[in-house]
Structure 1
Amino acid sequence: MENAALLKAIIQNAIDGIITIDERGLIETINPAACTLFNYAPEEVVGKNISYLMPPPDRTQHDEYIRRYQHTGVPHIIGIGREVTGLRKDGTTFPFRLGVSEVAYSGRKIYTGFIHDLSRQKEAEEQLKEYATHLEDLVHERTQSLKETVTALQSAKEEVSLSLEKEKELGQLKSRFVSMASHEFRTPLSAIQLSASLVDKYAQAFKSDNIAKHVGKIKNAVGNLTTILNDFLSLEKLEAGKIEPTFTNFDLVKLSEEITEEMQMVAKQNQHIIYQHTGQESMVNLDQNLLKNCVFNLIANAIKYSGENSFIEFNTEINNNACTVVIKDNGIGIPEKDQKHLFEPFFRAHNTGNIPGTGLGLNIVARYTELMQGKIEFNSEVNRGTSFTISFDRI
């Protein structure tokens, strides 16, 4: 008797709602928490079918579940963590997580439903969605602003290139742009990236695919803007003669493995970067930062212009005559008529469509390679893929 009294006290004071029903779906007991959730007194629901607390179409479906159980003996409702909707006395509905267990009692089966209200959780999810949408709109505004600035810069370049004086004016304009971009764009981009990461972290508890999708869009947009900004900064330094290669001895295989691991994290779904080294030696004498930038750029292009479920080959080779780096993909390829312009600044192939890019990456790669006294070559075929080869003679 004491145990029974204790069990009754626990049920009566439980935070979550608890309802028991018989094999016909008729309510036998309902605790105070469940009464509060549904706004019913116990005598108003005891003896009624549990579907009385369900809105359409769940109510009709539940009757079908009961008929199926009576025919087959297999209950549909046994389970934990199913999200369903409840119907209050005033006609309003609310979401809750339902856990149902089967109990054999006095020679018959009783089903106990544990009801956990999800109203506050759903409200929090909606707030997170609204915040993610707000961040996405903010990134879009920044993107448009930067595109307008880039367009204005290109238009100015065409006008001021008519004379030496105009060239000087272009240099001043570009310097102002770089200074402005460094200060005006890097700080808000960092803030957006941090906020998106925090939203992603706080939203993990809700396991919402929509939130994860929108946060992913924000991070991708920030990544694209950062790439654009870095390309312009690199171009400015190159044209100003501020970049001088620093040759040091380093382990090419170790660097390549680090690059592969880092780039795999930003690859598309089921894209795999396969790295392989040929040769007994692994040490080279080059500018490590410039080479890393070149490889990053080429692999990023391979990821961008290849589809999901694809492979990207990344190979290095060191022999007695040369050091060679090869990045090969099976993406959209480069039209033959565009190939002669490929390394020109701001040039983009005609089949890139809406894929984002500045047209500066390959120009920067070619110039970095030249600074290290190397050469870059490529082979490409539309819809078959592209292969880039960077090679350096060994002295």
Structure 2
Amino acid sequence: MDQQTKNVMLFAIIFSVLAAGVILAFLFRNTLFSSESDVPQAESTLSENYATSSSETASSTNPAAPASNTVSTEPITTTPPAESSGGFFTSLLKSFFQPTIRVPSISVATQNKGGSATGGSSAAGGKSSQPYVSTSTPPAPNTEPTAEEQQTAYLKMLEGIYGETKATDAQLKVIQLTLISSPLRGKLWISGVVRSTDANKEYITIATSKDLQKETTITGMTVKSVESGQVAQIGEGVNTFISNSANTPSEIKIYPNQKVLVTTGRSPLGYSFRLNKCTGYFSQFQTFAPALPQICPRLKNEAQPQAPNRLPDACLDYIDSFATCKIITELPKTVTDKLNSEEEYRCLTFIQKNTGYQNCTDLHKYDSDFYGTEWRTYLNHSNPIWKKSRETIWLLDQSGRFISQYSY
């Protein structure tokens, strides 16, 4: 037998086997897929069984208790029961072609008389409670970031960009658009920084615009160094300082076109305070940075005694040239040489009653121009907190929202 004949016979055998397989599959087709009708019946039976168990539990334990357990999301794989007829080949082919039915599994727990779900038997009377079925699903967790989380993220982005010396205008613009800004942004800002190795001479200047709302509270605002991470809060202050007395600080409120100096160190007066036309007297015996304005009322403009108690000419000449914001304990010899003891006493008494911070305040506190347009606030740090160079300082409101930044 030649090779060609062998090939023909082999092909015929293979074809016969395949044909027999197709015929067998066709013959058993109806039997195989008729079992699909059993699946809904199986599902229905499963539901009825669980429903029956649930109703039994409700009636035997707590009828009014709602089902509060959740449904497990793990799938149960179930296959309808195999037909008893068909023989070995039918069972084999059905196991190959039969689709798998996936039914959600149900978490079953028992309920005690108090309504709490447990995994064991009921303790009441030593009887086991029947399982019940819950179809409630747990709420999806909220993944939206809060406003505080967004603000923190934006500040981190801003910190990264301001820390870059090569940040582009486009980068800064994006951050300014997305950063949660304070309503005060553009109405007050850091206008300058004076750096010093002495904390009492280091200060920030905060300026305000004419559009700022009257009595805007700055107590609770914070200043922060981006580079070092130092953070300090602006505290309370005294609107009208009283000498030789305990003062009661309160919230600092500012007005349009005012400025606030935030000094790193401590106040020579022990308080943050607002300038007025008499505060220049403090400079005679204490040091302020920057120096306090010397705008005290002129002594010669104070009301003087009239005749017959008019002051002598030598005293009046001295008063006309008397320096502003200054107190004395005695008259200079050039004046006393021209006065007798009674005239000297009256001259010195008049000067001392009309000079000095507290006397000045008592005389002028109701003047329309008594209060100045500047606050001196103090952070009470012992050491400087701002870098000498390559520093960025933020001003944040009481809610941590961005107001202003200053870089140098």
State if a TM-score over 0.5 links the two structures: no
Question: Which has the higher Rg, Structure 1 or Structure 2?
Answer: 2
TM value normalised by structure 1 = 0.21
**Greater share of residues in strand:** 1
TM value normalised by structure 2 = 0.21
